[in-house]
Structure 1
Amino acid sequence: MAAGIDDLAPLSSAIEPDMIRTGSRLLRPVEAISALLLSIIIVLLLMGVTSRYVFSIPVVWIDEVASICFLWLAMLGSAIALDRNEHLRLTIFLGMFPKNLQGFVQTLALLLIATFLLVMMEPSVDYVMEEWFVTSAALNIPNSFRVSAIAFGIFLMFAIVVSYAIRTSTVRDLVMSTALLAAIGALCWLLSPTLLGWGNYNILIFLVGFVVVCLVLGVPIAFCFGVGTMCFLAFATHVPIFVMIGRMDEGMSSIILLSVPIFVMLGCVLDATGMGKAIVDFMASMLGHVRAGMSYVLLGSLFLVSGISGSKVSDMATVAPALFPEMKRRGHKPKEMIALLSTGAAMADTVPPSIVLIVLGSVAGVSIAGLFTSGFVVAMVLLAALAVLARWKAGSEDLTGVRRASFRVIRNAALIAAPALVLPFIIRSAVGGGVATATEVSTIAVLYSIVIGIVLYGGISWRKFYAMLVETAALSGAILMILGTALAMAWALTQTGFAQQLATLMINMPGGWISYMAVTIVVFMTLGCVLEGLPAIVLMAPIMFPIAKNLGINDIHYSMVVVTAMNIGLMTPPIGIGFYIACKIGNVSPDEAMGAIWPYLLALIVGLIFIAAIPAISTAFV
């Protein structure tokens, strides 16, 4: 989410812009390999789709080769993201530290990452050696060829972080940070016999306390989970840290997740070709003349564009520049525009092909086809809630000089936008109808977008296409690293018996499923503020979904409540990361926009209450 947002994501916000991409020249071969791996994955998946649906000849080895390339892409992409400072992290607290301490805090954050990676090195090598005795079914080769990506990525990221720390930190900060971490580690080791007897209190100390401290220090979220879980296993259990590598592998290697980098690539193609702008222009020609028309266009564009890109950042970056100038001319205040943009993006995240829905389906074992169908309907409910509020807010809109577009203008805009408008409906109908999987559809959509973009929308240069491949690898790596460490943390939580205790408590709670829905909304809105969507889902889904099933709540219905609540939290100030991204894209001060967003958030909450209270909204069309 925060990729490229300078005041949200970088490892060290105090570094000058020309120093931010430390070591990028050394990473250029890795970037080239990552671009090649992504290209191979797309070609392999297209071959698989063609052989299966055109020639009715399934090629069994394709999935295995794609899986090997995918894990390597994830780890190399994570290293590129670290080098480019594109790992998601929370920086709201960094500015609160005294200026004379900020350098020390940032150095401490870097050394925390380095410590985690250093400790993971030996287990990752042991994991490679152990997997040598496991052979793949189709290729009949040792699984070590695949999992060695984890070890290589850990070593590479360690080298990047250490290099970055040496180049950007003072000797004093490095010595003090190293001494502090050594002291904390020694103290925990000395107390470990006592900690073993504290039971679930260790969850508060390590899986909550350590993670929160790391978040406050600005450690990327993926490594916050990694540090907390590593310390929990090392000091509060008899479980070897080696287990973490296996859980990280499991979190990053699901075949369903192959569609994540493909849909990220699709969002890049959408931006590069101007297909999103064509959709915006068409909707503006249809609705721009009515009162609140530009607000409707903004919401409708987010709805349709999200059906292509699957990315909130891509959606907002496509829609805002095209609509904000005209909205300003009509008297819309910048703060109101940002409020509508951010809440509209939250609404659109249930519109397929949402990456959040794909990850949720993978982690919670829910039908992705069902999630795509239900997400479309749920988004319509939220769209209606925001549209009603936008209409009420547009009472003083200045429509001077605004005329209804002629039939010729509408026709021309429709002809230009038609190839782009078709794509989201292809994606939804193919996945929702069970014609193809999300991964297969994503590859077809990328091929379609590239061909249409080249033929009808001006094309993509080879240099730009290569940059898109590398950016996709970096963003996908950042996402998948979060999924890996979050799944390891979720596994550690379940092994303590905490999940079973929580399930017993929730099942016996007064109010039954209604009370549980209320708790779910509060939990995921809170986690959405702090952690963003994907880590919150991976961390809590294994715990919350079994409880929901025991209470008789439909998986699809519960998924829609979870995703919607999480998206509302993501856009809720003063912590919600998505809100700050919207402000950055719209070039509006967060302080100015903060007061305007609350009515829009309230409209989304009202829509969420209807979705939670009426299961048929989510399940009637599944």
Structure 2
Amino acid sequence: MDRAITDPVITEPNMAHTHMLAPDEPAGGWRRGVLKVERALIKMVEIPAALLVLAEVVVLFVGVVMRYFVHSPIVWSDELASVLFIWLAMLGSVVALQRGEHMRMTALVGALPLPKRAVLETLAVAAPLIFLVAMLHPSLEYAEDEMFVTLPALDVPNTWKAAALPVGLALMGIVAMLKLVRNANPMQVAGVIAFLAALTAVGILGTPVLKTLGNINLVIFFVGLVAAGVFAGVPIAFSFGLATLAYLSFTTNAPLTVVVGRMDEGMSHLILLSVPLFVFLGMLIEMTGMARAMVGFLASLLGHVRGGLSYVLIGAMYLVSGISGSKAADMAAVTPVLFPEMIKRGAKPGDLVALLAATGAQTETIPPSLVLITIGSVTGVSIAALFAGGLMPAVVLGVMLCILVRWRYRNEDLSGVRRASRTEILRALAIAVPAIALPFVIRAAVMEGIATATEVSTIGIVYSVVVGLLIYRQFDFKRLMPMLTATAALSGAILLIIGAATGMAWALTQSGFSQELARVMGGLPGGAATFMVVSIVAFIILGSVLEGIPAIVLFGPLLFPIARSMGIHEVHYAMVVILSMGLGLFAPPFGVGYYCATAIGGVSPDAGMKPIVGYMAALLIGLALVAAVPWFSIGFLP
């Protein structure tokens, strides 16, 4: 789920007095010229970014066909996909920055008066610019050093891959500068830059003192500075990057090329290739009508019982989550189908968005969840085991939600609701079978060894295209390029966080923090039970502030070894961690998933605040059951 970095004028149309201009608003004088330059630049980036998504699908799918069906594997396919992937990540980050789609926390910023909010929105662009400028030269040095490393299969210098970093950083810097010039009040820009310059000067002048503080610097930079950036609305990736940059610059002698190397390493895990591909798959199932077919079948089965459509919503989110891997895509797919009928039956809009947000938290463990993939990439846990272990925990939480729904809708008036006939149910089933089959096709392909967790998304994409064209006959080719571009932007935003968090995690590890954390956590009274409770509380908080992916990249490598040493199965621990972060992500007041649900449902966030309390309590009970009974997570592992 992303916290979009949005130009203030888009969210506040009446901000003319702050000298902000929306991207499509006619500008006068020199601002019009800046706007034209920005649009031309981003068009030059969007096209190759979209084509890179398509290229990844082709390369990986052809690799599957050649290896499994032709029995003649292409030895260079994974290597080429890895090279294209880092370029996709960096160009996608550029598009995300221009569109205002980098993840950030805006709850506190949005509550401020308009003038103060405008200043923080300017800071949200200026602070990343500082990081981008500071990292440009180290990234060039890193790319030059990689000239001496040869990619074995392609037999070309690794600079072909590493060059994506300086190119992406430079383009993001240009975009950030153009956004500042085009959008912001010059006095605000001058004030924000003066503030950032003063902070830098304090760091430089205080370097001799900071170097004597030892691990206190971890609190200053990785707690204080990160928290200040996140709560001020600076995108999470850049908050991490700036904290790491400041820590290394002011307290150590480590070269900044190390940070670039760690970013490259974090974004280069081949398993992360599934991120853009599953995002694209989620968009495809909505466009082809597959999601609507699944929801229609469930509605024909349960639409006549009290709270029936709420059960359908829970079940539909379970099924759709198993396909798209993106919570925003899941909610957007089922909401237009169910909400109008539920409101017609008397359901309160606030209760609907509360349940929608709760189902988002419930289905976080259903494969192919992006968080599952991230955990596997940073902790070494088997992706296949995570996929198998994630199904039952979501069922447990779903049952808890259904129990609450049954109680809340016990007096629902169904006098005007007609029960679907057997013929109608069978017809709905026949229509939905190709769509319902997709999650099973994906899982079977992994379990049977046809494709890896990285490649299996391409099978889903090809399947969805074929079903959309030949069966549902819904495939709007005009939407294809925008979908590919949106996929690149969202993927770039996610992957930049992973890269920045990897650099930050490296700095934490080098400081000795990981060993100290392991010692403290391992010494807690109560052993594994206390460790599990502390982990649940910690990840609920982290999920509400940092979201799942950055929190996992930062703390997964630190905490999973501790869990293993205490005898906790790593798949069981992964499920508890993911569900805990899901609760934080979708719980107000900070959880951005909740606000995403209200935006998709077209309901005021205030309306869902009261009803979501009960749903969150039900989810918490379900989480406690999953934590207490490992069988729910590991009972179906091979």
Query: By the TM > 0.5 criterion, same fold?
Result: yes
Residue among 426, 433, 456 paired with 2:441: 426
Matched, 1:266 2:278: no
Cα shift at 1:237: 1.7
TM-score (norm 1): 0.97
Q: Which is worse superposed, 191-200 or 435-444?
A: 435-444
CA contact 2:5–2:235 (8 Å) conserved in 1: no
CA distance in 1, matches of 2:573, 2:312: 30
- Equivalent positions of 1:113-262 (< 5 A) are 113-262=128-277
CA contact 2:221–2:243 (8 Å) conserved in 1: yes
CA distance in 2, matches of 1:589, 1:360: 34
Q: 1:343 to 1:7 in 2, by over 3 A?
A: farther
Cα shift at 1:318: 1.1
CA contact 1:7–1:91 (8 Å) conserved in 2: no
- Name the aligned partner's letter for residue 2 of structure 1: D
- Equivalent positions of 1:438-457 (< 5 A) are 438-457=453-472
CA contact 2:238–2:500 (8 Å) conserved in 1: yes
Matched, 1:46 2:54: no
- Name the aligned partner's letter for residue 535 of structure 1: P
- Name the aligned partner's letter for residue 452 of structure 1: V
CA contact 2:21–2:182 (8 Å) conserved in 1: no
Unpaired segments ≥5 residues, structure 1: none
Residue among 564, 571, 575 paired with 2:590: 575
- SS of the residue 1:575 aligns to: coil
- Name the aligned partner's letter for residue 504 of structure 2: M
Matched, 1:468 2:483: yes
- Equivalent positions of 1:477-496 (< 5 A) are 477-496=492-511
Percent identity of paired positions between Structure 1 and Structure 2: 49
Q: 1:367 to 1:238 in 2, by over 3 A?
A: same
| Structure 1 match to 2:423 | 408
Cα shift at 1:34: 1.1
Q: 1:309 to 1:9 in 2, by over 3 A?
A: farther
CA contact 2:3–2:592 (8 Å) conserved in 1: no
| Structure 2 match to 1:350 | 365
Cα shift at 1:272: 1.0
Q: 1:416 to 1:9 in 2, by over 3 A?
A: farther
CA contact 1:44–1:66 (8 Å) conserved in 2: yes
- Name the aligned partner's letter for residue 189 of structure 1: I
| Structure 2 match to 1:602 | 617
| Structure 1 match to 2:521 | 506
CA distance in 1, matches of 2:114, 2:403: 46
CA distance in 2, matches of 1:8, 1:522: 34
| Structure 2 match to 1:619 | 634
Matched, 1:391 2:402: no
Cα shift at 1:331: 2.0
CA contact 1:360–1:537 (8 Å) conserved in 2: yes
Q: Which is worse superposed, 170-179 or 502-511?
A: 170-179
4+ runs deviating over 4 angstroms: 3-22
- Name the aligned partner's letter for residue 77 of structure 2: I
CA distance in 1, matches of 2:214, 2:598: 43
CA contact 2:390–2:633 (8 Å) conserved in 1: yes
CA distance in 1, matches of 2:138, 2:205: 23
CA contact 1:24–1:84 (8 Å) conserved in 2: no
What are the superposed Cα offsets for residues 577-621 of structure 1, whole Å, 9 maximum, x if unpaired? 000111111111111211110111011110111111111111111
CA distance in 2, matches of 1:432, 1:590: 41
CA distance in 1, matches of 2:163, 2:354: 45
Unpaired segments ≥5 residues, structure 2: 26-33
Q: 1:52 to 1:519 in 2, by over 3 A?
A: same
CA contact 1:386–1:600 (8 Å) conserved in 2: yes
CA contact 1:283–1:297 (8 Å) conserved in 2: yes
Cα shift at 1:472: 0.7
- Name the aligned partner's letter for residue 145 of structure 2: E
- SS of the residue 2:424 aligns to: helix
CA contact 1:375–1:560 (8 Å) conserved in 2: yes
What are the superposed Cα offsets for residues 452-471 of structure 1, whole Å, 9 maximum, x if unpaired? 11112233233211111111
- SS of the residue 2:346 aligns to: coil
Matched, 1:112 2:127: yes
Residue among 289, 307, 326 paired with 2:304: 289
CA contact 2:545–2:590 (8 Å) conserved in 1: yes
Q: 1:534 to 1:12 in 2, by over 3 A?
A: farther
Cα shift at 1:10: 7.7
Q: 1:131 to 1:10 in 2, by over 3 A?
A: farther
Matched, 1:27 2:42: yes
CA contact 1:342–1:578 (8 Å) conserved in 2: yes
- SS of the residue 1:349 aligns to: helix
TM-score (norm 2): 0.95
Q: 1:7 to 1:369 in 2, by over 3 A?
A: farther
Cα shift at 1:192: 0.8
| Structure 2 match to 1:550 | 565
Q: 1:239 to 1:560 in 2, by over 3 A?
A: same
CA contact 1:8–1:91 (8 Å) conserved in 2: no
CA contact 1:11–1:218 (8 Å) conserved in 2: no
| Structure 1 match to 2:30 | none
Matched, 1:327 2:342: yes
What are the superposed Cα offsets for residues 331-390 of structure 1, whole Å, 9 maximum, x if unpaired? 221111111111111111211111111111111111111111110111111111111111
Cα shift at 1:435: 4.0
- Name the aligned partner's letter for residue 139 of structure 2: S
Q: 1:9 to 1:521 in 2, by over 3 A?
A: farther
Q: 1:483 to 1:560 in 2, by over 3 A?
A: same
Cα shift at 1:113: 0.7
What are the superposed Cα offsets for residues 527-585 of structure 1, whole Å, 9 maximum, x if unpaired? 11111111111111111111111111111000000000000000111100000111111
CA contact 2:367–2:387 (8 Å) conserved in 1: yes
What are the superposed Cα offsets for residues 318-337 of structure 1, whole Å, 9 maximum, x if unpaired? 11111112211222211111
CA distance in 2, matches of 1:508, 1:4: 40
When the two chains are superposed, the root-mean-square deviation of aligned CA atoms in Å is 1.8
Residue among 331, 348, 351 paired with 1:316: 331
CA contact 1:5–1:584 (8 Å) conserved in 2: no
CA contact 2:542–2:551 (8 Å) conserved in 1: yes
- SS of the residue 1:439 aligns to: coil
